[in-house]
Each structure stands twice: as structure tokens, then as C-alpha cells.
Amino acid sequence: MLLFGLHVPKCAGTTLLMRAMMQMPFYEMYQCTSLERNFLENRSEFQHINDYSRIRLVFGHFVHEEMLKSFEGPVQLFTGLREPRARLKSALFFQAALRKRQGLPQEDMTRAIARRSNAMCRTIASSFPTLAGDGTLAERALRVLDHCFCVYFSERFEETAQPVYAALNIEPGTQNFNVGSYEQKIDGRQAEELDLSGADLEQDQILYETALERFAVPRPISAEAAERLEQLRLEPRRPVRLQRFYYSKSYGEYRDAGLLDRVIARRKSMIAELRAELAMYESLAEKQQAGSASD
């Protein structure tokens, strides 16, 4: 059974991920919350994995429904949510601290808030566009949640994330990660002083309140949702679709982390190495076939 989870930013996903990474062998999971970390720790990116059958957990910011087609057998989806205003404040402070660490200029606060309008809905719908279908942002995101065996909530994380750990058969521990250490000040202002009057969170609020009513207590997904999910997994692969989604995301992460030149150089080196390897294999195979024919 594969667990396939979307890490909506600033919804306690780093704690879930780190607890799992501390308990699971590296070859049983693929994380795409930090592509920077994957590169620096010599971990394969999704398209370069040799054996998908060993993976039990996929989790991160950059998951996409097209990835499901690489796996055999049943898949269980999950994700997490947080009260929208609290999530937005946390995201703004986190991004400000990250940009400072990366040596990048700070975003204009008005633009930063506008850019994150209804971010939970947008993130969920864009990761699973087929499941989301049409409708308002909240309707589309909720339709995706109908296919999730678990929706955890930051405010009740220990309780609501337990089904994920149970499905993985791990003891997660109690350590929290990426919480509070960055929440200092933005332009001299504390979190409670931020003016969010220009934030459009209407659809996220509908999503959050409705999800609390529907999904706070674990329940099995419907037979119809399970069938739709399986049909999606069995559809023909569309690699260009995944490439457009994934590489546009990874480009931004590598660029902001100051790794883009290193990544490009390494990818070019890999291409040269693979060409040389294939040429050697083909040459040796031809020689072997010629030798067999002459016997």
C-alpha cells in the first residue's frame, strides 16, 4: 500500500515528514518538500528513481496526480489543513526568514499577501486537477479531500495525523519541527500586528470549516472515490504533463537556494555519463552477438 500525501505549506507537514524519515529506510519514501535537501543529500528525484515498488510513502509540496501512474497497487491519499489566517501569518514569517537566509530581498507585503490568496485550495486543486474537476476553489479542493483516507489538522495534529503513522506502522515520537523558530518580526512587526485586511481567504475558510465537519473524524472513502482514484492511477502516463509541473517548481527552489548552476552542471554531467555508459553497453552487446554468430 502506497501513502501519497500533499504537504500544504505551513500545516505541520514538516513535523509529519521528519518523524517518518526518522523511522523509515530512505528507500521506502520519497519526499519533495525540500528538493534542495534531496540534491545536497544525494537523494534521487522522482523521475530518477530506479524501483518505485519499494516506496511506501510519497510526501511533499510538489506532488502531482501524474506521479500516481508510476506505482502499482492501491494508493491512499492524505493531506493537512490549518486555520487560514494562522496559516497565512506563518507562511509570511517563514518566507521572510527564508529569503533573509538566502540573501534575497524581502517581498512587498501587499503583494506577498495577495499572491497567497486561498493558497490551501489552490495547492490542493493544482496537485490533483483531475480529481478536483470544476467549480469554485473550495468545491474543487473538497472534491479532492473526498479521495483522502486522512485529513489532518494542525490544531489537532497528534490526534488527526495518527492514521498516517498507523498505516505506515511506525511510532512517530513527539518531536516537532519547523515550528516557531522563525516567527520573529517582519519589518519590525510581530505576527499579531500584521494587517491581513487585503487577504482573500474566503475559499480557504469555506474549505477549512467544511473539512472540519466532514473529515476531522477518520472515515473510509466511498467506493466511488476509490474507483475514481484507481482509474486515475491506471490511465496512460503523460510524462510531459508531469515535467511541466515538476520542473517549473524545482527551478524556483534550486534558484532561490543558490543551487541552480550546480544542478544544471550535474545534470549535464549525468547526460554525458549516461551516453558513455549506453555506448559501451551497445558496443559490448554487438561484439557478443558477433562472437555468438561466428561460433
Q: Is the pLDDT of residue 183 over 50?
A: no
What are the cell numbers at 243?
515535467
- Asked if the model's pLDDT at residue 192 lies above 70, the reply is no
Per the listing, cell 520519497 goes with 30
Name the one residue in this structure whose C-alpha cell is 561466428: 294
What value does the mean pLDDT of the chain take?
A: 91
Q: What 3-state class would DSSP assign to 121?
A: helix
**Do the beta carbons of residue 92 and residue 186 sit within 8 Å?**
yes
- Is the pLDDT at 180 greater than 90, yes or no? no
- CA-derived radius of gyration, the chain: 22
Q: Among 1.20.272, 3.40.50, 3.90.1570, 1.10.10, what is the CATH number of 2-238?
A: 3.40.50
pLDDT of 212: 97
The β-bridge partners of 79 are: 6, 151
Higher pLDDT, 101 or 15: 15
Nearest to 9 by CA among 109, 97, 91, 124: 91
Percent of the chain with pLDDT over 70: 94
C-alpha cell at 121: 485550495
Domain boundaries, given as residue ranges, for the chain: 2-238
d(CA 16, CA 162) in angstroms, rounded, equals 10
Which pLDDT does position 186 carry in this prediction? Answer: 53
Tens of pLDDT, residues 199-238: 899 999 999 999 999 999 988 999 999 999 999 999 999 9
Segment 61-81, tens digit of pLDDT: 999 999 999 999 889 999 999
One-letter amino acid at 248 equals S
Q: Encode burial over 218-253: b for 16+ CB neighbours within 10 A, e otherwise.
A: eeebeeebbebbeebbeeeeeeeebeebbeebbeeb
Does pTM surpass 0.95?
no
pLDDT band for position 181 (cuts 50, 70, 90)? very low
Q: Angle at CA 96, nearest 5°, toward 93 and 97?
A: 85
C-alpha cell at 197: 485586511
What number is the average pLDDT over the span 47-66?
Answer: 96
Q: Is the pLDDT of residue 14 over 80?
A: yes
